[in-house]
């Protein structure tokens, strides 16, 4: 015995050899590495886009007050880049979650902060005052 193995009779040469396994493992590692790099690049791009969009116009509802069955006042505060204006949409809902009023507040381009008390006219008594979105104008 010289330490080498031979394929049994009737089995094609190289079919069960270790050379094919090593090549397949190497290909899988290369494909996995390429897919990993592409996934990281996609996550970085999406994250950067999200952060850049968020830094232009960020609003919050500081407080709200139910004035009557047909009005809710909302104190809106917006942080933004100088020169960026836009529209913030606020709404009010009834206790069962039905939207009873919604309005848009125009955000001017000057300054880096903006605060305003906005009145939402409602079709029934509203119990919330919430910010839906703030969208920068182009």
Question: Domain coordinates of the chain in residue numbers?
Answer: 58-136
User: What tokens does 137 get?
Assistant: 């104008």
**What digits encode the pLDDT tens for the residues 80-108?**
888 889 999 999 999 999 999 999 999 99
pLDDT band at 46 (very low <50, low <70, confident <90, very high): confident
CA distances (Å), 115 to each of 19, 31, 111, 121, in order? Answer: 70, 52, 11, 19
- Can you give the pLDDT at residue 13? 64
- pTM, two decimal places: 0.61
| Architecture in CATH of 58-136 | Sandwich (2.60)
Q: Residue 90 is inside which H or E element, if any? A: strand 86-93
Do residues 76 and 131 make contact, with C-beta atoms less than 8 angstroms apart? yes
Mean pLDDT in residue range 30-57:
85
Q: What is the pLDDT of residue 23?
A: 82
């Amino acid at each position: 015995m010289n330490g080498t193995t031979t394929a049994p009779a009737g089995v094609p040469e190289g079919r069960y050899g270790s050379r094919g396994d090593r090549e397949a493992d190497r290909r899988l590692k290369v494909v996995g590495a390429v897919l990993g790099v592409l996934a990281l690049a996609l996550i970085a791009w999406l994250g950067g886009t999200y952060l850049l969009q968020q830094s232009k116009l960020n609003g919050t509802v500081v407080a709200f007050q139910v004035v009557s069955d047909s009005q809710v006042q909302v104190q809106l505060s917006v942080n933004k880049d100088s020169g960026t204006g836009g529209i913030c949409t606020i709404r009010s809902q009834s206790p069962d979650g039905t939207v009873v009023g919604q309005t848009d507040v125009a955000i001017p381009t000057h300054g880096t902060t903006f605060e305003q008390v906005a009145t939402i006219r409602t079709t029934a008594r509203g119990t919330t005052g919430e910010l839906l979105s703030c969208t920068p104008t182009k």
